[in-house]
Amino acid sequence: EDLDSLVGTDGYSLFSPASLAEMATEITSTFSAFLAAIAAISLLVGGIGIMNIMLVSVAERTKEIGIRKALGASPNVIRGQFISEALTLTILGGIMGIILGAALSYAVTNLMDWSLHLSYASFILAMGFSMFVGVFFGWYPAMKASKLDPIEALNYE
């Protein structure tokens, strides 16, 4: 039966433990979705930043790319170089993010007197996403570098 009909509505509210647990679950789910959205936006912004850095790198190193291609470097080698540079940037960023995130989590949990459990799976997942962002957003600049014509690249000022 409905508890409100049994108790009445004289300005009092009655909550069962099950309804409190349901509210807590709903609040936690909403907060988790909010944090996931912030993380997704952060990854997108970070990825665009990586792509811009790599595009500037390609533009600044056009002559170098032209020389390497003139000396026989294949498009795969050039592409691999720029993908590995993007991966290096994102791996370093991922490591710094993990260290900073763990340190902040530790500080907040100590401040609030909560327990803290950091799993290796979350670190691996974070590094996996970081590496994915590096490859995904580094692909276009790497392709652009690998498709440069050596003659045009050597004449580039």
- b/e code 88-109 from CB counts within 10 Å (16+ = b): ebbeebbeebbeeeeeeeeeee
Per-residue pLDDT of the chain (157 residues; tens, 9 = 90+): 565 566 555 656 667 888 888 888 999 999 999 999 998 999 999 999 999 999 999 999 999 999 999 999 999 999 999 999 999 999 999 999 999 999 999 999 999 988 888 899 999 999 999 999 999 999 999 999 999 999 988 887 7
Angle at alpha carbon of residue 60, lines to 131 and 127, rounded to 5°: 10
Give the Cα separation of 39 and 155 in Å (integer).
43
Quickly tell me which residue has 């692909």 as its tokens: 139
pTM exceeds 0.75: yes
